[in-house]
Amino acid sequence: MPKKKDRTFAAKLAHETRTIRVETCKVCGKEKQSIVHLACSCGESGAWRPQRRRVKVCDCNRKEVYG
């Protein structure tokens, strides 16, 4: 019964796929790139505070993120 060995190999493959963390957008079908986006959050007080946000970019929101 070689089934047990096959399952172990598949589990290893699945783990490696998770480690790479490539996400594909269901809308545009492109790979999502994980980037750190620096956004200016200018509040009503007028203080400029840069905000770091980790966002995932694909064709759907590329224009929003890069301006």
Strand, coil or helix: 12: helix
| Residues of span 5-64 touching Zn ion by CB under 5 A | 25, 27-28, 58, 60
Both tokens of residue 60?
């759907």
CA distance linking residue 1 with residue 47, whole number of Å: 68
Nearest distance in Å: CB 17, Zn ion = 20
Give the distance from CA 24 to its chain's centroid. 9
Nearest distance in Å: CB 61, Zn ion = 7
Nearer to Zn ion, 29 or 67 (CB): 29
Residues at the interface with Zn ion (CB under 5 A):
25, 27-28, 58, 60
